[in-house]
Amino acid sequence: MGNSTGSMFYAFGAFLLIYLVGVFIYQIYLWVKKWRENREEKED
């Protein structure tokens, strides 16, 4: 019984880690997009 609980915990931890990494990458993508738009406006 304890073993199945442990594997569920690891599965949840892995899911949470993948989710957080995805959110982090998405935030970087939005920041880069905003930065590039601002840079293009300054060059005009």
Q: What is the DSSP letter of 22?
A: H
**Whether the model pTM is above 0.75:** no
Residue 25's pLDDT band, with cuts at 50, 70 and 90, is very high
How is residue 7 written in tokens? 């594997």
Q: What percent of the chain has pLDDT over 90?
A: 61
| Domain coverage including residue 28 | 17-43
| pLDDT at residue 39, as a whole number | 87
Q: Which residue has the higher pLDDT, 40 or 17?
A: 17
User: Residue 6 domain-assigned?
Assistant: no
Give CA–CA dist 27/17, Å, rounded.
Answer: 15
- Tell me the C-alpha distance between 17 and 1, whole Å: 25
pLDDT tens string 3-14? 677 788 899 999
Q: How many domains does the chain have?
A: 1
Q: So what's the pLDDT on residue 31?
A: 97
* DSSP-derived secondary structure letter, 37: H
